[in-house]
Each structure stands twice: as structure tokens, then as C-alpha cells.
Structure 1
């Protein structure tokens, strides 16, 4: 019977609020732009509530300051211009007021700088914490094996550094500009009204142009994202200790360095083209502002020469023009950065709105009593890609062991990912005591599974931590860690390290306690550490061992399999190995071929069948025979392993 499951469709209300499409790509549009702006502004006051409001207040007062200074200067110059009728006390008081206002503006500038940095730092921490908390919410592997997701994640990380701060800074700049322009507007309207219109026209034109350039800058950033990710890849290769041996042996340094330079060059050329265009356009508007300013000053100076304006009026007008232009320039420059930030922040907002492709169920994950059943399981990694599994039917009774055999690419590791529910079958179902894995709480299910993966991790942490990570709630239990290490045959090695289990297993990072240099392990030793990590879950219902001894010598492999055989007694276990002799004691052996179970039975059954398994076993057995010896028949000797 075929079991087909599809993801539930979102209801209309929830779908209306989703800002990412079904593939997880951010939706472009004004609505998402608005969400990005409001989200960034809100984050500022959540990340640093007191600092955010203080910064807004200081920014507003700082915007009014130059206008106050200009008015005080006008009044002082007008008073001094009265000659013998001038009130010396009033002129001095105005001068003192100017000096006091100037000092206050200078102090506020320093306070504003501190508050701005405080808000920026708090924003970076808050957004990065939320971003990677969201990444941790993705329970499956599909996104992490998708290059497009990594491009989006890189852009979201890039946005998290400065984008929210630039957006909020633009808001503060607008507040400051409004305060400054409001203070000077009356002056320009009273002295020469057309000047206000000229400044407004040139400022709006510069703003529109800057926004267009910012849009192009973001488009280029999105286009070259893959190149920058490639650059990081080559950069890490050139400094990765594990790659250093082959790079030096095969002389790959120049080749990889060339690839690195090409990736950088391809990205920087596109970005420089946008910068050149921006420089030309902004230079043109700067020249236009200069012409407008010069024309306005000539008109007012000519009016003062004909006694229509006082010297204070001219001084105030010049200060007003400079203040308004400065306010507009600040808004235009910050608007470009904000527009670029908003588009980049789309990726952050879109990623935060992404739904997990692996929806968790709510049923509990009880101890495995009956067994696991794969029922007509089909799977492929991409909708347009080939099927990796094509209707796998397989039953693993509780307490038994199953060996999985197949050539490279047969689907063995894929089946492991499905059992750990890192992916879901596209068709069919995997049942745990009759309950579909998709109906069970995924975290509770995984707590019942211990696994050693073929591509195991080596963490730049202490030996104790490297093993303890296999069961985080019990990671501090030294006895449990050492028991797992003994089962994996690595306890004696770790005890002989300079600091025993507290030794840093890394030649890249220094020890966090005393900055001492760590040590590195051999490949086989690292494999034993990874095996010990999986054995930390001593109460796991399902133990998966995917090539647990591929890096070990024959004697060590024999010892490991003896220890594991005792440990697995009465446990449900899945064993994968290209060394078929390691699987011969399994209760059942399944041969995967072309995405299906081609053969199933005990070692003896499959040898008697004389099919694919017997052929592979015979090829390996022949490698252990003296040169010229004939291949043994499928008899008792072969089944007892005397030929191996």
C-alpha cells in the first residue's frame, strides 16, 4: 500500500502575512519594504529602549541648535550695527548665549555619537541572535544543502550588521533635518522666498537620484552574492589545516589563489561601476547646489547694498542656506544608505518569515517496541533531480540489527537521513511502531536515536566536549563520557593527552582557559571520538552506525566491532559498511540497488542466493587470499569467515 503525504496549505489569513514565497525567496514589493522599515525601527527600541529614545531626543535638539545659533548671530550683528546706539550689555549677552549654545551643540554631538554606537552595537547583537535562532528552527537539511539559501543567508547576515542601524539613522536624520529646516524656513521666506523653492527642488532631485543608485547597488550586491560566497570558500580552503596537506603536495596554492582573485575581481568590478556612476551624479548635484547657493547670496547681498536687508539678515540668510543644504545633504546621503539597507533587510525579514520545510508533529515518541517499517518510500533531493529511493519496503524489528549494503550512490546515507527525519519521504511513509514519523514530535524522536555519520564532525573543542555533545543534557557527566570513550576504544588515548579529557582538540584555536596550544588527532582517532559521541545516548532506542570503522586498521576495527556487538545486544541498530565482514553478524542484511531493496536476508541466506551480495563478498574475500588461490565456494568456510 502506498502512503502519500503532502504539506498542509496555509490558510488565507496566515498566508496574507507571509513575506516569502513557497521556495523561501523574499517577495519584492512595497509591503515588504514597509515591513522592513517598521521592523528595523521597532528593533532599535527593543534592543536599546532607553538609548533609542535618548538618541531621538538628542537628535531633535541638535537639529534645532544651528538655527538658534544663526538667530542669535543675526540679533547680535544687528545690535552691533546700530553703532553708537548699540546696547553693549545686550550684545554681550547675545554673544554669551551664542557661546553657550555652541558648547551645548558640541556636547550633544559627543553624546549623540556615544548613543548612536550604543544602539548600533545592541542592534547587531539582537539581530544576529534572532537570525541564528531562526536558522536553528529549521529542523531539516534541505535548506542547508541549497546554495540559494546560503546566498540569502549571507545577504541576511550582511544586512544584520548595518542595515537596521542605517534605517534608524535615516529616521533620526529626517527628524534632525525637519527641525533644522523648520528653524531656517522662516528666514528664507522673509528674505527671499524663491530660495526655499530652489533648494527644495535641487534637494528632491538629488534624493530621487540617490535612491535610484541605491537600488542599483543592492541589485549588484544580490547578483554578486554567489561570488562572495565562492570567495569565502577559497579563502577558507587556503587556511584550512585539513586542506593544507593536499594543497602543498599537489601545488594547488596558485590555482586556488587565482580562483580567489577571480571571484574578488568579478564582484568588485560590478560594484565599482555603481560607485563611479554615483560619484558622477552626486558631483553634478553638488555643483548645482553651489550654483544655487551663489545665486541666492548674490541676490541678498545686492539687496543689502540697496538697504533692503541688514547685515544680520545677510548673515542669517547665509547660515540658513548652509543649514538647509547641510540638512538636505545629510538626508540624501543617509537616504541612499537607508534605501540600500531596506532592500538588504528584505532578506532578513523574508528569512525570518520562512516556514520550516520539516513540520513537526505532536504525537509523543515512545520507546520502540514493535519496530521500524519503511513503506513504499520514494525520495529525491530536488524536484527535477533523479529519484534516489524508488519504493523502498523494509521492516526492522525492535531489538534486531539490520546491515545495509550497496554501491556508492545506492541511497544508504539518504535512508539514514530519512530515519533521523532530516528529510521527509516524497512518497510513502516511515513508521515507528505503526506511527508515521511525520506525526511525531521531531525533537522527541531524535532524542531516541544515536548515530555516527559517515561525514562525522570534528569540533575545535576539548575532548570531553567533543564526546559530551552527543547527549547535551548529560555532557558534564564525566563517567558517562569516559564510558562512551571506552566503548569506542579511545579512552586510553584521551587520558594520555597533556590535559587529559580537558585538552583542546584543535591546532587552530587556543585553549579557552590558559591560551595553550591544543593537539590534533589522527583520522582514525577522530573517528573513534565521533563514535563515542553517538554512544553517549546509551538509552537510545535506535543506533545508526554509518561506516563507523572506515578509518581504522584491521585490529582496531575488530576490537571496535566486538565492543559494539556487545553494546548493541538487544538494541535496534542499523549498520552500514563497505566492509561486508563487519555486517555478517547482523540479523538481516538488505542490499540496496537502483533505489530499491534488491536482496534481503541473513548473511547465510544471501550467500546461498548467490546474487549481488555474494558477488561483493566474494570480491572482498578474494583480496585476502594468497596470489593465485582460487575463489572459495559458498560453503561453511566462507560463511564462518575463515577466508577473510
Structure 2
């Protein structure tokens, strides 16, 4: 039921309200520590092996260069063959290790990525599942942060580890060659090292721009995904084809893609210019150093081995500095992404949670709303205004009102998806804010108008209403029978074990009905009702337009079934079809978040107020279609 009271952007969602602002470009030690901790907890042995092998490769170029220098100097100085053979064998060993190391590193990296991805996903969705309310899920800024957290949680820790190890490896290589170069020319060493400083600074600036760009295009990419999902949606396919709006939606999707691509292209072009300038600087330094080395070798100041060492050292130091800058920037960018992940996983509760919640008593007296006011933030209008309402145990209360009256919001408060801004909701005299939200919800069964259709088996679709009943076929079939859907499910190719989707099957299998079936809207609605019925501990049943997708006969059957199986349960019924609520003990009419009328059907008709006007308006449509006798 869309009553127009959905939240625009509820900043009152708690500790994640900062998500609406652009994230800081600063990296805290906490984030770096979080990345390393995540990788270590996921696979300590693999991480240790990966670090050892990666760092060892940093020493191989230096060892190879020194061995090559020794070989050349030995050849020109007339060294013994045995000595030259030993040096040659050393070069062969370092070459073999250099050839094998990348494959081993790739394997260890893959193992680490899989382990970290699994742990990161578990932690992220454990944290998301721990959000008690709905405010964060209805906040676009938080959804952007959550999307970046999904990307950052799986990839960023490995990128941080890779970047950190790459930095250390580059430092090892640079240090080894710098010491070698220093003996030949301290001036060249200073020039080569100085040329690396601009590279490092430019890479860090580009990393910050890249992170800022990804944040800014987040809404654009989310819209693009929305249009893409819409164009491939089974639910939307009929209207898209009937109204001929496929090309229109595709145009919007491509426009958003072009906008995102333009932002990325702009950054790429800046990077090309910066990299070209840095490359020119490196070439000038390397060329000058090489000119000095050739001149010195020609004058006999350095040996042939020294010359090869110099050439290798300049190239290695410049390459190491570039790698150092690139890995530092990559690590910085990964840490910025990981910050979103840590913000989500450490956000804490979104609703007030008592350290010692009170036990929730059995519902013996009823539910009471005392002066309940609600709005999503101080900047938004009031949705509910001073509601006072009592629902005795075992009674049936119906909520009636036009769209935007506040009916959906009231349901959200009863389920404690939000807390009242003012006032209290009492369950047998106990404020529901003082009890565990999970325990409260275990006492509530609900059929929402926007009910879920899970791509799972028929049995699982019902059993998800109470996980204790997931494998209890008797309870599942009893709930299905109450909802009038047992015969339909029993007649499926695999009965209750039939998948209610064809999403997970190969294309060649989709024509086989045994692989999965697709139910009609009315059948899905009955299944949602069965899912609510399977909760045997329910003391409050919320029915939000429970028969909106059913024909008249099925609607009558469902309401008869609900009345028959009421069994002393308290019921809250929301419906725009006033004929469906006429048997309620109390009917409450909401308008602009206030109660304007209350009473039973006959009393409200006699009062000739808002309810009577709406009832006669609906009845006149049917009477107008009735032929005169």
C-alpha cells in the first residue's frame, strides 16, 4: 500500500547520517589497520606466504644485476672458469626464481582474494542484517555508501595488502640499487631519487580525484542500473511493450552511462597528460645518467660491469619509484573505498537498543498508542499527528484513509521499523522501545501489499515466515491450506519442492516445467498469506491489502478464512476496499496523519462522515453497473 508517506531522505537514521556528505579524502590509520586485520583473519598462513614470496622478488633484480656485473668484470679481468661458472649458475638460479615467482604470487593472491572476499561479505551482510529499522535502506546516500562498501569490502583489503607489499618490495629494490649507484655517482643517485617525488605526488592527487569522481557518479550509475534492470524485468515487460517505452528507457539508461563515461574520460585525459610529463622527466634523467656513465666508461673511470650495473640500476630505481608511486596511490584509493566498508560494518544500531531489554509479555490486554507523532526528520512534515488509539486483544481494527493519510507509517511503527518522534506504543503496557525488536517481530505476522516473491521452492517461500517451520512439511501444508493455495502447490511438477522460478536453470532446461514454474499474481498473494499464517507464535496479524490481487470469489474466500482462523488473534487490516473492512470491530479513518473518525461499520455509516462518503462512493460504482429490474 502506497499511502504517500514514504521517506524522502530520513536523516534521523542515526550514525550513518554522515553518509549524505561527500566522504573525506584523508586516510586514517584505523582504515589501514582494518584492511590488514581483515586479510590476516581471513587467511593468516596464505597472507604470510604471500608476503614472503612478494618481498623476496624485490631482492632478485639487485642480485641478478650484481651477479651480471661480477660475470662481466670477471670476463674482462681474466677470472678462472670455475669462478665464472659459479656466477653463471647464480644468474640461472635467480632467473629461474624470477620466472616461477609470478605464478606462485598469482596463486597466493587468488587464494587470499577468495578468503578475504568471503569474510568481508559475511561481515558486511551481518552488519546490514543487524540494522533494526528501515531508515538506512530508505536513504539514497546510505545506499551509495553500501554499494561502495560492497565493492570495497571484497577488493580493497587485497588491494591494500598488494599495495603495501608492492611499496615495501619497491623500497627493497630501490635501496639495493641506490647503494650500488652511490658508489659510482652520488649526484646521479640524488637526481634519480628527486625525479620520483613528482611522480609520487601526482599519483596521490590522481587517486583522490578518482575516489571523488566515483562518489559523485554513484547516483548516475545507480540510475543506469535501475533502467537496465527495468528493461530485463519480467514484471515490467508487459507495460514496456504495451506502452512502447523500451527505446525511451534505453535512451535514459545510455544517457546515464554517457554521463558516467564522460566523468571517467575527463579524469583519464588528465592522467594521460600527467603521466606523459612524468615519463618525459624520467627519460631526461635516465638519458643524462647514461651519457655520464658512457663517458666515464670511455675514460676508464668505471668498468664494463659497472656500466651494466649503472644502466640496470637507473632503470630499476626509476621503475621502482614509479611502482612505489603507483602502489601508494592504489593503496590510498583502496583505503578510501574500504572506509565505506568500515563505516557500514561499524555503524552500530540505527534504532535505540536497550542494553538489557525488557521481556515482551504475552498480549493479554492489547496494544495502545499514546499521543504518537512521527516525521522522518526536523526538515520534513509530520506524517502522524498525536494519535491516541487502543486495540484490545482479539479485536479486529481496520485502518481506512486516502493515500498519504499515514496508514503505512503506522504499520512501520507497530513493527518497529521506526520509532515514534514523540509518544509511545505500548504492548500490554510495555513500551516496545524497551523490548528486543526481534522478539516483538516474532509475535507479528504480516502480509504487506509489496510482498516478496522469493526465487526459491514453494515450501521455502512459506517456511521463510518462520525458520523453525522451514523443514516442517505438516506446518507448511497447513498454512498453505489456510491460505487456499495447497491444491495449487501440491499439483506442481515436484509438489512443494518445485522451484517457483526459472532464473537459475540453463537455457536448454527452461522449457521443462519440472525445472521451475511461474505463479500468477493471485497465487503469489495467497503464498504470502500462507507465509504469515505459518508463524504459530503470532499475536498480531497485519494485513495490508491482503486481497488486492484476487478476484471477488477468492477475496471472499480469503476474508472468510481469516475470520475462521482468527482464534483470538488481534488483527490490523488495511484496505481501500471498504467492503473488506466492514466486519472489523473498530474502523479508524485517518486523514493527514490524524484520526478523524472511529467506530464500527454501522456507526460510521450513521454518522454520515468521511467513511460513509467513501463507502457510498465505492458502492455507487457497483450499483451503477447493476441493470434495472
Q: Does 1:72 align with 2:37?
A: no
The Cα of 1:623 is off from its aligned counterpart by: 2.7
Matched residues in 1 for 2:143 and 2:153: separation? 15
Q: Does 1:89 align with 2:89?
A: no
TM-score, normalised to structure 1, is 0.91
- Aligned match of 1:411: 406
> What is the total number of aligned residue pairs between the two structures?
609
- Aligned match of 1:466: 461
Moved more, 336-345 or 365-374: 336-345
Matched residues in 2 for 1:473 and 1:179: separation? 58
- Aligned match of 2:164: 171
Deviations 1:122-165 (A, max 9, x none): 22222122111111111111111111111111111222242222
- Aligned match of 2:7: none
Moved more, 206-215 or 150-159: 150-159
Moved more, 435-444 or 350-359: 350-359
- Aligned match of 1:572: 570
Choose from 20, 34, 49 the match for 1:39: 34
Choose from 424, 436, 447 the match for 1:441: 436
The Cα of 1:27 is off from its aligned counterpart by: 8.7
- Aligned match of 1:364: 359
TM-score, normalised to structure 2, is 0.93
- Aligned match of 1:612: 610
| 1:151 to 1:583, Cα distance in 2 relative to 1, 3 A | same
1:108-187 matches, cutoff 5 A: 108-187=101-180
The Cα of 1:511 is off from its aligned counterpart by: 9.2
Determine if contact 1:462/1:504 at 8 Å carries over to the other structure: yes
- Aligned match of 1:640: none
Choose from 370, 375, 390 the match for 1:375: 370
Determine if contact 2:522/2:549 at 8 Å carries over to the other structure: yes
The Cα of 1:605 is off from its aligned counterpart by: 1.6
Q: Does 1:384 align with 2:382?
A: no
Q: Secondary structure at the match of 1:586?
A: coil
1:329-344 matches, cutoff 5 A: 329-344=322-337
| 1:255 to 1:20, Cα distance in 2 relative to 1, 3 A | same
Q: Secondary structure at the match of 1:551?
A: coil
Determine if contact 1:547/1:577 at 8 Å carries over to the other structure: yes
Q: Secondary structure at the match of 2:106?
A: helix
1:167-566 matches, cutoff 5 A: 167-361=160-354, 362-510=357-505, 517-566=515-564
| 1:112 to 1:441, Cα distance in 2 relative to 1, 3 A | same
| 1:130 to 1:501, Cα distance in 2 relative to 1, 3 A | same
Determine if contact 1:211/1:335 at 8 Å carries over to the other structure: yes
Matched residues in 1 for 2:424 and 2:627: separation? 47
The Cα of 1:99 is off from its aligned counterpart by: 0.5
Moved more, 254-263 or 470-479: 470-479
Moved more, 146-155 or 616-625: 616-625
Q: Secondary structure at the match of 1:229?
A: helix
Q: Which has the higher contact order (CA 8 A, sep 6+)?
A: 2
Q: Secondary structure at the match of 1:385?
A: coil
Matched residues in 1 for 2:222 and 2:228: separation? 10
**Runs of 4+ off more than 3 Å:** 19-32, 514-517, 626-630
Q: Secondary structure at the match of 1:184?
A: helix
Matched residues in 1 for 2:233 and 2:296: separation? 73
Determine if contact 2:15/2:350 at 8 Å carries over to the other structure: no
| 1:30 to 1:385, Cα distance in 2 relative to 1, 3 A | closer
Q: Note the aligned Cα RMSD (angstroms).
A: 2.0
Q: Secondary structure at the match of 1:81?
A: helix
Moved more, 236-245 or 490-499: 490-499
- Aligned match of 2:8: none
Determine if contact 2:384/2:592 at 8 Å carries over to the other structure: yes
Q: Secondary structure at the match of 1:599?
A: strand
Q: Secondary structure at the match of 1:354?
A: coil
Q: Secondary structure at the match of 1:356?
A: coil
Determine if contact 2:27/2:335 at 8 Å carries over to the other structure: no
- Aligned match of 2:5: none
The Cα of 1:429 is off from its aligned counterpart by: 0.8
Determine if contact 2:164/2:328 at 8 Å carries over to the other structure: no
Determine if contact 2:117/2:154 at 8 Å carries over to the other structure: yes
Q: Secondary structure at the match of 2:622?
A: coil
Deviations 1:226-255 (A, max 9, x none): 000111100100101000010011111100
Deviations 1:543-594 (A, max 9, x none): 1111111111111111111111011131111111112222122111111122
Q: Secondary structure at the match of 2:261?
A: helix
